[in-house]
Amino acid sequence: MLHPVVRTILQRLGLGLITLFVVSLILFSSIEFLPGDFGEAVLGQAALPETVAAFRKELGLDLPLHERYFDWLGGMLTGDMGNSFSGRGSSGGTDRSRPVIELLAPRLANTLFLASMAAIISVPLALFLGITAALYRNSIYDRSVNALTLTTISFPEFFVAYLLILILSSFLKLFPSLANISPDAPFWDRAYLTFLPALTLTLVIVAHMMRMTRAAIINLMASPYIEMAELKGASKSEIILRHALPNAWAPIVTVIAFNLAYLVVGVVVVEVVFVYPGVGQLMVDAVTTRDVPVVQGCAMIFAATYILLNLFADIISIITNPRLLHPR
């Protein structure tokens, strides 16, 4: 029999593939049902019926829906994400459209860079705040950390961004308000330019992770073994760090994974405000112009990120829990 960890991984990966398939099917048909198509969207006000028809013909949009879907799926299974609709010549003959992967790869790298920056700041911060809040629970410290983080999540993201720009960029002139990094920028330049968007994201997600850490630890405080440790005379911080925290990892890691997925998937607004060339903006633009292959490519990446991060969290939960690691 397979080890349960391996079994879980295989099971989850299998389910993940099915999820990806269904996600692609849903998005493909949703965009089909959206009024307008690529030709109309790209030409905007200037769309003429015959130019739109010409676009449709060249892009194969005149083929039935299922044919186009299976075409795309076939390509996907052989590792070809297809070509973007945009970048096609407006006259016959030349087809220099760009492969989706070429559009996606540099932006994905940017998105991952920003997500890592935000994660490096926010995860330790959230853990620290959560543990200390649990340690001094119901104190003024605990209440103010709670109120403060709740306030930051209750501001809309773009508003947090504008506030940070006002303070750190306009008044203190510490950081630039534009994070439009170029592909060949050296690492430290990138890190510097990306700091404000990363800080914005940190403020947006830290509350959730912090509250989780605090709740998970407090949740264990009524357990008999903690009472035992208390009776043994262990100090409060020792109890939390040595006894409660190791058992609280599972829920904490799950919420961290959930928020990391958000950092990759849900940052359109921050990208717009800081003019950061990430995948979110690409996907919104692709939806607006009905560039189906690009929408599908982005969606696959997003869904895969979500599935993999959840899987990763579950594996950590199993590893940190002996009862799950060594089932009866």
Partner 1 sequence: MVDIKDLEKAARAGKLDRREFIKRAGALGLSLPFATSLLSQSVHAAMPKRGGKFVQGSRHGGTTDTLDPGTHENGFMQNVVYTYANHLFEVDNTGELIPELAESFEASKDAKTWVIKLRKGVEFHNGKSFGADDVVSSMNHHRGEDSKSAGKSLLDAVVDMKKTGPHEVTFKLSGGNADFPFILSDYHFAILPDFNGQMDWQAGFGTGGFVLQSFEPGVRATFKRNPNYFKSNRAHFDEVETISLVDTTARQNAVMNQEVHAINGVDPKTVHLLGRNPSISILETTGTLHYTFPMRVTMAPFDNYDLRMAVKLSVDREQLVKKILLGHGAVGNDSPIASSMPYYNDKMPQRKYDPDKAKFHLKKAGMEGITLDLSTSEAAFSGAVDAALLVKDSAAKAGLSVNVVREPKDGYWSNVWNKKAWCACYWGGRPTPDWMFTAAYVADSNWNDTDWRTGPKADRFNKLVVAARSELDTSKRREMYFEAQELVNDDGGLVLPMFANYIHALNKKVAHDEQVAGNWESDGNKNVERWWFA
Partner 2 sequence: MNNEDDLNPSAKAELADQGFSESDLGNHGYSATAEVTQIRARRSFRENIWRGLRSAPPTALFGLTVISLYVFFALFAPLLAPYGEAEIFDMSYAPWSDEFMFGTDQLGRDILSRMIYGARNTVGIAFVTTMFAFVIGGGLGITAAINNGGWLDNLLSRSVDVLMAIPSLIFALILLSMFGANTINLIMIIAVLDSTRVFRIARAVSLNVVVMDYVEAARLRGEKLAWILTREILPNIMPPLVAEFGLRFCFVFLTIAALSFLGVGIQPPTADWGSMVRETAGLIQFAEYDLTAAMTPMLPAAAIALLTVAVNFVVDWFLHKSSGLKD
Are 31 and 292 in contact by the 8 Å Cβ rule? The answer is yes
- Closest to partner 2 by CB, 19 vs 86, is 19
**DSSP assigned state of 167:** I
* Residue 274 interacts with partner 1 (CB under 8 A): yes or no: yes
CA 167/CA 310 separation, integer angstroms: 36
**DSSP assigned state of 97:** P
* Residue 33 interacts with partner 2 (CB under 8 A): yes or no: yes
Please report, as residue ranges, which positions from 276 to 295 form the binding site for partner 1 (by CB under 8 A).
Answer: 277, 281-282, 285-289, 291, 294
Helix, strand, coil abundance in the chain, percent, nearest 5: 75, 0, 25
Residue 96: CB minimum distance to partner 1, A: 5
Please report, as residue ranges, which positions from 183 to 202 form the binding site for partner 1 (by CB under 8 A).
Answer: 183
* Residue 269 interacts with partner 2 (CB under 8 A): yes or no: yes
**DSSP assigned state of 166:** I
CA 289/CA 36 separation, integer angstroms: 9
- Closest to partner 1 by CB, 111 vs 149, is 111
Amino acid at 77: L
Please report, as residue ranges, which positions from 119 to 148 form the binding site for partner 2 (by CB under 8 A).
Answer: 137-138, 143, 146-147
Per-residue contact string for residues 39-78; x = within reach of partner 1 by CB under 8 A: xxxxxxxxxxxxx--xx-xx--------------------
Per-residue contact string for residues 236-255; x = within reach of partner 2 by CB under 8 A: ------------x-xxxxxx
Residue 99: CB minimum distance to partner 1, A: 14
Which sign, positive or negative, has the C-alpha torsion 88, 38, 104, 20?
Answer: negative
Are 145 and 206 in contact by the 8 Å Cβ rule? The answer is no
CA 193/CA 169 separation, integer angstroms: 11
CA angle at residue 282 from 307 to 47, to 5 degrees? 135
Could you list the residues that contact partner 1 (CB under 8 A)? 34-36, 39-51, 54-55, 57-58, 84-94, 96, 103, 158, 162, 165, 169-170, 173, 176-178, 180, 182-183, 272-275, 277, 281-282, 285-289, 291, 294
